[in-house]
């Protein structure tokens, strides 16, 4: 059996925790809801996948290389709320005190860091489990790379993707290019929804083949593809495709967890008013009771 490495999409975790839970505050008034939700979900995931190899990747503030290709990329997203910004430093401190490495690279998104590490893990003989609710990551799934959605507590492999979307992971970039992504402000093709995109990919195999066989389409579908700006479509496809070739001078072995600093963790949890997390540290030395993936989600 191959060793597993958990690659956690920290930015998705962070926003999910912030918006899914009611506002929480520490005894001194600091906002803490995102920190509490994140750490709760992190500890639960660590208990499900018992592996010492873990990394959390975060986006950094500022524009990325994708903004150079498409200035409107993520333009519709709201600015990070101040109460969430205030929680990021303490969250990162706690993650590091848990003995888990944090990875951030200017100009790149957490998705690209994870894409690169997952491919590196596959090459080095590991099974990579990407922890994210973000469907963009489905394009990375292979024989040795799987996705765990911590919200639905669902483990996705190639066959699960086929069952759920009607396509295979290698078709996912074309699928997203056609349907667009409102969250990232990617327009897609007018009139093409998920079911239509999946049906077309089942028939033609790829977006390129669809464009080469437009005359075989009928009615409004044919009109939609005739009106497509192919250059813009190609640019959107390049933006959706994750960069799995970032220069990261790290081996998967380097992601092995170090010993948690229990005393500092207890001190911070006490200050933040995290009584339940404090009990986990004091009673179980961070070895959270295992819970089955099928059990009710944290959120």
Domain span at 195: 166-240
Confidence of residue 76 (pLDDT cuts 50, 70, 90): low
Lowest mean pLDDT among 4-8, 79-83, 216-220, 288-292: 288-292
Maximum alpha-carbon separation in the chain: 68
Residues 118 and 243: beta-carbon distance below 8 Å? no
Tell whether 104 and 210 lie within a shared domain. Answer: no
Query: For residue 263, is it within any domain?
Result: yes
What the block records as the tokens of 219 is 């009615």
Tell whether 277 and 141 lie within a shared domain. Answer: yes
Percent of the chain with pLDDT over 90: 57
Number of domains in the chain: 2
Three-state DSSP class for residue 209: helix
For residue 182, the tally of other CB atoms under 10 A from its CB is: 10
Span 187-199, pLDDT tens digits: 889 889 999 999 9
Residue 297's pLDDT is what?
45
Q: What is the pTM of this model?
A: 0.88
Tell whether 202 and 64 lie within a shared domain. Answer: no
Tell whether 85 and 141 lie within a shared domain. Answer: yes
The DSSP-derived string for 39-61 is HHHHHHHHHHS--SEEEEE-PPS
Span 148-187, pLDDT tens digits: 998 888 999 999 999 999 999 999 999 999 998 877 778 8
Tell whether 8 and 156 lie within a shared domain. Answer: yes
Tell whether 110 and 257 lie within a shared domain. Answer: yes
Closest CA to 37 of 266, 281, 276, 279: 276
Tell whether 153 and 203 lie within a shared domain. Answer: no
Tell whether 120 and 199 lie within a shared domain. Answer: no
User: The domain that contains 189 carries what CATH number?
Assistant: 1.10.150.20
From start to end of the chain, where are the E strands? Answer: 4-9, 53-57, 101-103, 127-131, 145-149, 154-156
Residues 44 and 276: beta-carbon distance below 8 Å? no
Mean pLDDT of 233-256: 91
Helices (H), 5-144: 10-20, 33-48, 65-69, 82-85, 88-97, 110-123
């Amino acid at each position: 059996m191959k060793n597993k490495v958990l690659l956690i999409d920290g930015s998705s975790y962070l926003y999910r925790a912030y918006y899914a839970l009611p506002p929480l505050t520490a005894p001194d008034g600091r906002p803490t809801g995102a920190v509490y939700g994140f750490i709760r979900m992190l500890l639960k995931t660590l208990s499900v996948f018992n592996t010492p190899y873990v990394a959390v990747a975060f986006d950094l503030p500022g524009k990325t290389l994708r903004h150079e290709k498409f200035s409107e990329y993520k333009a519709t997203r709201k600015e990070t709320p101040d109460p969430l910004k205030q929680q990021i430093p303490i969250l990162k401190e706690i993650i590091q005190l848990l003995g888990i490495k944090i990875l951030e690279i200017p100009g790149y998104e957490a998705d690209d860091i994870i894409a690169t590490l997952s491919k590196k893990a596959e090459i080095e003989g590991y099974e990579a489990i990407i922890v994210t609710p973000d469907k963009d990551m489905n394009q990375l799934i292979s024989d040795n790379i799987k996705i765990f959605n911590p919200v639905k507590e669902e483990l996705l492999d190639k066959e699960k993707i086929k069952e759920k979307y009607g396509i295979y992971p290698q078709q996912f970039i074309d699928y997203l290019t056609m349907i667009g992504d409102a969250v990232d402000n990617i327009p897609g093709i007018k009139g093409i929804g998920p079911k239509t995109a999946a049906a077309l990919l089942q028939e033609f195999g790829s977006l390129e083949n669809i464009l080469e066989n437009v005359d075989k389409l009928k009615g409004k579908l044919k009109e939609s593809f005739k009106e497509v700006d192919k250059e813009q479509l190609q640019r959107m496809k390049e933006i959706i495709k994750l960069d799995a070739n970032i220069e990261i001078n790290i081996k998967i072995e380097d992601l092995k967890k170090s010993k948690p600093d229990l005393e500092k963790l207890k001190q911070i949890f006490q200050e933040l008013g995290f009584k339940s997390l404090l009990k986990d540290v004091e009673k179980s030395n961070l070895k959270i009771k295992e819970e089955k993936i099928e059990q009710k989600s944290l959120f």
